[in-house]
Copies of this chain bind each other. A is one copy, B any other.
Amino acid sequence: MKSLLLPIALLASISMPTFATSSEQSLQDAQQLREIALRSHLGYDLVESLTVEVGPRLAGTPADARAVAWAEAKFAELGFDKIYKQPVEVRHWERGDASASIISPFPQPLAITALGDSVATPAGGITGEIVFFDSVDELRAVDPKQVKGKIVYIDARMHQHREGKEYSLAVAGRSIGSSVASEKGAIALIIRSVGTDKSRMPHTGNMRYQAGVKKIPAGAISTSDAMMLMAMKKRGKAITVKMDLATTSFKPKTSYNVIGEITGTTYPDEYILISGHLDSWDEGTGALDDGAGVAIAMATAKLIKPFKPKRTIRVVLFANEEGGLIGAKQYRDANAKELHKIKLAGESDFGARSIWRFDTQVHPDNLDLMAQIAKVLKPLSINHGDNKAGGGPDVSILPAKGVPVFSLRQNGTDYFDYHHTANDTLDKINPEELRQNIAAWAVVAFITAQSEKPLLALEKNKEVKH
């Protein structure tokens, strides 16, 4: 942060809408905070620091432990009032080498990556004929005879979209494809990468073996290789592939949710929770997923501090999101009796592009406050959306416990070009767009922290739509 004070001319130029539930002073502060955030390098410096000084940080690995140490040290360096960590038992799986190639009819290598948690192939690799499917549903419908002893290939596609809409469809093959294939007697699974790029970078990601099903090795080939393989299929000859995945599963390790707080001046026991996840996949440096979220949350709180928030700003850097919200579930359960103190929660975990919409899931009585926030967000080109927000992966499990959440929705058009690949690196982050993010987060967190009206819990255990 370069300077706390805006030039008089700039302050004078800020127009003042009429507000209801926040004091004039806090709204004026929020606008000043927004302008300071738009000029601050802090967020970029943080994600650079994490990606350069730690780099990839797969849960359970020594790099994950270095990331935890980095976060504690960084919170301290930034002058957070309270810094602590919460142990989380995490899966420890490592990728090792991965290779694949077409053996016949036209030999050539394939760019492949193991899916997270995949078992290894037998030493020397596994070889089999490919059977092609467009989706898991098509695989489910097939006669097991057509699959038995073969390698299942699923070619589910997704296209660029601001909201990443096709991800949930395309990801089915990655998540459960290996179990469905194994039940039908397949010896391995290969999927087209769940990504929107045209490149040789395969996308890894989480999968789970269903209980009782034989674990078969599972990998993803790059979208370029998928296109080549489909063109080879047109030639009408049986295609045999060899795949060699040298993954290893170790015993679980202890990692940590790392938490830093800026203590509230008036209501120190009420929390505005902002977050990202500290772990990343191992092939990139996790700049977008989720170094940016870590940086956004930390920078937001640091920028708010001089404005003396009335409620406590709690930054949570969750452990092992990629393993299936592992740190978040631990956080929820370990804090079960304290969750009512969290007055609003959000996570940034969709890259670092500009925010275009502000959604919430709050008690109806607090919608007027949200409308006030939306007015201060408007100069950032952010629209006010609906009250059906999920809040971000790690906090998405909190509304069922009554915790209100918000989502600052980022432009995700190219997010799935890089998602879970070696290409998730710092150079993909536009510093200006990152600053717009932090400005928006600061506005939401600060105005909520200053609210003169109580912040109400959602109805607990209600059915949540998002």
Which residues of A come within 8 Å of B, CB atoms? Answer: 48, 51-56, 63, 106-109, 111, 198-201, 223-225, 227-228, 231-232, 235, 284-285, 421-423, 425-428
Contact = CB atoms under 8 A, between A and B. Distances in A.
A228 B52 contact: yes
Contacts of A199: 199, 201, 423
Contact of A56 (B108, B232, B284, B425): B108
A103 to B, nearest CB: 13
B51 A228 contact: yes
Pick the 10 closest A-B CB pairs, nearest first: A55-B108, A224-B425, A198-B427, A200-B422, A200-B423, A52-B231, A53-B106, A227-B427, A52-B232, A224-B427
Contacts of A285: 108, 228
Given A52-B232, A111-B422, A225-B425, 7 more contacts: A52-B106, A53-B235, A54-B106, A56-B109, A63-B107, A199-B201, A199-B423
A196 B199 CA distance: 15
Number of this chain's copies in the complex? 2
12 contacts: A52-B228, A52-B231, A53-B235, A54-B106, A55-B108, A63-B107, A199-B199, A223-B427, A224-B425, A225-B425, A227-B426, A228-B285
Contacts of A228: 51-52, 55, 285, 425-426
A200 B425 contact: yes
Contacts of A423: 199-200, 224
A231 B56 contact: no
Most buried by B among A51, A54, A199: A199
Given A52-B231, A200-B201, A224 B108 contact: no
A13 B197 CA distance: 41
Given A111-B422, A422-B111, A426-B224, A284 B52 contact: no
